Structure 1
């Protein structure tokens, strides 16, 4: 700013002189031509001689000048206007800013875009310094801890917070617990919860207030088929051998349905080629032991991989006794004379079924009854085993069978 230039003052001369010299002094100073070259001298106005719009006081031939002090303008009411605050981000701390790092300002950095320090509790995660920040929710269940060092108590910390509604807390999908910290009741909800972390194999689920070991196929038809093996006894040539103390009890398909119903399951009935292949894999898995009504059945490899035993009866029944689709492939499209029983919880849902796409001469025959099912024959030497035929019998029974959970109704769409 330039140094102030003091105004020339031509008023007040009389005040510095004696009263007797006033007339002489004024006479010498009030020469109208004397001040024409002086920028402070103006001609008198034709209006009121006492004031002007510029704020200067004038007397004919004399002018006083008011010089701007250099502190800015003023509002219309005469008050001085405050200067506008400098913008956040200019690299200078201008109150009320607490910090300003210019272009380095960031809501993930030390100084935020609002020119405030990034601190725990402000809801912004300071990268490299904070692991999380949920603002006022810090310290609450399912949120960040009070120090922004990591999560507070939550589902997934391997500790069961029962008061928060958790029933379980595991980091492995095989132990009957979902990622939502609730019990897994089927392979379908395990697949939905754990996604690709859940692969085909053995799992625990919780049903009817008990834990069950099941086989989950996580691939067929999008994954989620649930299987249980049931064995009423050991089918061996020497059934009196002490190491095999259980004598078999042969059951019809309807009796097998009742046994499966003990766990809220149903007798296996294939609904697609992929579903049938998944059941063959479960029946053929030696590590998958069968169960009885109350206890686990001893894991005898001789019967645990008995595909012909576990899949010799299935839940496909004649709609009208004595009628059939003789010589046609056994599936719901070409053989509507046979069907899967409806689910009591979903009686209006018609389930498709698929046993074979290849016709077998003379089968399925008409020798069937309301309580009958087909008896299925397998080639166990093939890997995987394949169906070689099926017979319509009035007394098709088996000591072993496969139960399934019907919550997955078949292929998508």
Structure 2
């Protein structure tokens, strides 16, 4: 039976004053003779005449035995868990098997190849290098462009239209590669000199070309109509900072080079073959560009004739009476000063800011149209409205446009 033997009880068993156990030691009773053996082996220490109620020993597994006053010898083996104590710096030491040391966390970028890392070049790690900031080896398809090795890398989009190719050496199929991808909506894949815009669609007006960043006057191919047909036109891309103006010259002759004339209505129908309209000059800037295209710029007409530069290309325009009868006689001929007239395809018109005496005529009729005579400086010399049986004025020269204003 395990008991706690106090100093007084032990003295009663073994009265030697020089023998003492520390207080409250858990012991097991044994024979007095065995106690002497314990003394000899150093399990107890001499009694110094004093006791302390606070001192204690912890016994680890042992075979210690003592004799009790009952004279019964009892022997046992006990194990007491060790206890932690505090060191001078406040940290716990000793005791059980648990370790207070934190595990070392290996970090990407320390220059050592740790578990789970493909590479680690320390400070040289970079997302454009051979070892990324995540300690992964650079590879095509990771979405990072390795300088000097890869041209591009769009990750999972590699190989798709308008993205990097599958080996990261160049762009994959895209607008501008010189090959038309119809399935991707490309109408063409060529230069503007072939009428192809940067977005791989056909230019359908000089405004399209202007918007594509081209700012040089000249002849350009447009794709007009349904089905599309290539039409060579003259584009004025320099006169206005924002607008591009389209012009198509028409000189009508038969196969024997005999001149043919068309009224404004007939000219409108002719221009419609090109998905265009009989020219309407819209404002003073557009009028100036139109006169230069007609009289100064050398580009070939359609319609069988061959005259390239004549101010007569402006003798008939696409304007007509809006209100039959007397209208704005002697006033400047433009939509602001003469609201009784209108452009055939809608919108404003501008011919002159100076009135012509007696014009427009006092009895304007449906189908009537003016005939214009121009000075060499581009100003209007005179105008006269013709009925001509409802056909209006006629000319072998005229121009078509796309109604840009």
What are the equivalent positions in structure 2 for 1:46-195 lying under 5 Å apart?
51=80, 54=83, 66=94, 72-73=99-100, 82-86=103-107, 88-170=108-190, 172-192=191-211, 194-195=212-213
Maintained 8 Å contact 1:168/1:177: yes
* Residues 54 and 150 (structure 1), Cα distance of their counterparts in 2 relative to 1, 3 Å cut: same
- Given candidates 294, 304, 310, the residue that maps to 1:306 is 310
Cα distance, 1:198 vs. partner? 5.0
CA distance in 2, matches of 1:306, 1:162: 42
Maintained 8 Å contact 1:367/1:393: no
- Given candidates 250, 253, 261, the residue that maps to 1:230 is 250
* Residues 32 and 315 (structure 1), Cα distance of their counterparts in 2 relative to 1, 3 Å cut: farther
- Given candidates 16, 25, 32, the residue that maps to 2:40 is 25
Residue in 1 that maps onto 2:235:
216
Maintained 8 Å contact 2:83/2:95: no
SS at match of 1:204: strand
Maintained 8 Å contact 1:367/1:394: no
Cα distance, 1:110 vs. partner? 2.8
Cα distance, 1:306 vs. partner? 0.6
- Given candidates 241, 246, 259, the residue that maps to 1:248 is 259
* Greater relative contact order structure (CA < 8 Å, 6+ sep): 1
CA distance in 2, matches of 1:316, 1:379: 20
Maintained 8 Å contact 2:154/2:163: yes
Maintained 8 Å contact 2:264/2:369: yes
- Given candidates 27, 31, 55, the residue that maps to 1:43 is 55
* Residues 72 and 188 (structure 1), Cα distance of their counterparts in 2 relative to 1, 3 Å cut: farther
**Structure 1 gap segments, 5+ residues each:** 1-18, 37-41, 57-64, 75-80, 235-243, 343-349
Cα distance, 1:291 vs. partner? 0.8
What are the equivalent positions in structure 2 for 1:338-377 lying under 5 Å apart?
338-342=341-345, 350-377=346-373
Structure-1-length-normalised TM-score: 0.72
CA distance in 1, matches of 2:55, 2:151: 78
Cα distance, 1:305 vs. partner? 0.5
Structure-2-length-normalised TM-score: 0.73
Residue in 2 that maps onto 1:279:
290
Residue in 1 that maps onto 2:72:
none
Maintained 8 Å contact 1:215/1:228: yes
- Given candidates 266, 281, 285, the residue that maps to 1:270 is 281
CA distance in 2, matches of 1:43, 1:159: 96
CA distance in 2, matches of 1:142, 1:124: 17
Maintained 8 Å contact 1:316/1:341: yes
Maintained 8 Å contact 2:262/2:396: yes
Deviations 1:39-71 (A, max 9, x none): xxx81179xx97467258xxxxxxxx94688x9
Cα distance, 1:290 vs. partner? 0.7
Cα distance, 1:150 vs. partner? 1.0
CA distance in 2, matches of 1:199, 1:223: 12
Maintained 8 Å contact 2:84/2:96: no
Maintained 8 Å contact 1:221/1:274: no
Maintained 8 Å contact 1:366/1:392: no
Maintained 8 Å contact 1:287/1:304: yes
Deviations 1:62-104 (A, max 9, x none): xxx94688x9527xxxxxx643332x33444433233334444
- 2:218 pairs with 1:201: yes
Cα distance, 1:388 vs. partner? 2.2
Residue in 1 that maps onto 2:27:
none
Residue in 2 that maps onto 1:324:
327
Residue in 2 that maps onto 1:39:
none
> What root-mean-square deviation, in Å, do the aligned CA atoms of Structure 1 and Structure 2 show?
3.3
Report which of the two structures shows the higher radius of gyration computed on alpha carbons.
2
Cα distance, 1:185 vs. partner? 2.1
CA distance in 2, matches of 1:221, 1:357: 23
CA distance in 2, matches of 1:32, 1:377: 143
SS at match of 2:288: helix
